[in-house]
A and B are shown apart, each in its own frame.
Chain A
Amino acid sequence: GAVVSQHPSRVICKSGTSVKIECRSLDFQATTMFWYRQFPKQSLMLMATSNEGSKATYEQGVEKDKFLINHASLTLSTLTVTSAHPEDSSFYICSARERGAWETQYFGPGTRLLVL
């Protein structure tokens, strides 16, 4: 099946710093990528949807200036958490939808962010 990777798998940073998380589709072209956040014992919450070459669409309540999303190519999307604070500590998961296959959605393994 299609593979989606994320890097890093976990990151610890100091409050106020910025953290970049990469999401790559390894063997297919992803025209759409999604970013989710998941708190302990809760389900995934969609943060934003990004289509290659266009600006991301953010869900209500998600600050676009804090969570910067770039989808510069068909295989790479990045999420940058700017000026991270402890409340941003969470599990961030990306998923990718293959070109022409809108029914499918492949998830990455997730990135655990801990802000001290």
Chain B
Amino acid sequence: KNQVEQSPQSLIILEGKNCTLQCNYTVSPFSNLRWYKQDTGRGPVSLTIMTFSENTKSNGRYTATLDADTKQSSLHITASQLSDSASYICVVSAGKTSYDKVIFGPGTSLSVIP
């Protein structure tokens, strides 16, 4: 069964600190993995997208890693800011065509406090 799990469910950190969010998946055949940031009451915004051959990808203070062997991904946020408070969603695509299945993780709710 194609599934995406995320941990922790929620996280509270102090402004300026770093944090790492985890994503484990059981999706086959794997196509790509994306991390999205969703502010409350808004649509998700793409942070990174990685295919099978990519191990790491950065977007500003966001760095995503992918281990295709263990089927794990992480999103590391450096020097957190108050505006980083949001839900972070791991999304894995299964398949190799335009009709591939997209599986959403439940998200990690991050709160950055001053």
**Chain A residues whose C-beta falls within 8 Å of the C-beta of B60 in the assembled complex:** none
Answer whether residue A106 sits at the interface, using C-beta atoms and an 8 A cutoff: yes
Task: Kindly state the separation between the CA atoms of A32 and B101 in the bound complex, as whole angstroms.
Answer: 13
Closest-CB distance, A70 to chain B (whole angstroms): 19
**Contact of A43 with B43 at beta-carbon distance under 8 Å, contacts A102-B98, A103-B93, A104-B49 already known:** no
How many residues belonging to B are interface residues under a CB distance threshold of 8 Å?
A: 24
**Contact of A43 with B89 at beta-carbon distance under 8 Å, contacts A91-B41, A93-B43, A109-B42 already known:** yes
Closest-CB distance, B2 to chain A (whole angstroms): 12
B16-31 interface (Cβ within 8 A of A): 31
Cβ 8 A contact of B104, one of A41, A43, A102, A104:
A43
How many inter-chain residue pairs (CB < 8 Å) link A and B? 51
Quick one: closest A residue to B36, CB to CB? A107
Q: Is the CB of B41 within 8 A of A102?
A: no
Q: Interface centre among A44, A49, A104, by most B CB within 10 Å?
A: A44
Task: Kindly state the separation between the CA atoms of A4 and B42 in the bound complex, as whole angstroms.
Answer: 12
Quick one: closest B residue to A57, CB to CB? B99
**Chain A residues whose C-beta falls within 8 Å of the C-beta of B106 in the assembled complex:** 42-43
Task: Kindly state the separation between the CA atoms of A44 and B46 in the bound complex, as whole angstroms.
Answer: 14
**Chain B residues whose C-beta falls within 8 Å of the C-beta of A75 in the assembled complex:** none
- Please list 7 pairs of residues, one from A and one from B, whose beta carbons are closer than 8 Å in the complex, sorted by A's number: A1-B46, A44-B104, A91-B41, A93-B43, A95-B43, A102-B100, A104-B49
Q: 13 more A-B contacts (CB under 8 A) besides A103-B31, A110-B42? A: A1-B46, A6-B43, A31-B98, A42-B106, A43-B89, A44-B104, A46-B102, A93-B43, A103-B49, A103-B51, A104-B49, A107-B43, A107-B44
Which B residues lie at the A interface, using CB under 8 A? 31-32, 34, 36, 41-46, 49, 51, 89, 93, 97-100, 102, 104-107, 109
Which A residues lie at the B interface, using CB under 8 A? 1, 4, 6, 31-32, 34, 41-46, 49, 91, 93, 95, 97, 102-110, 112
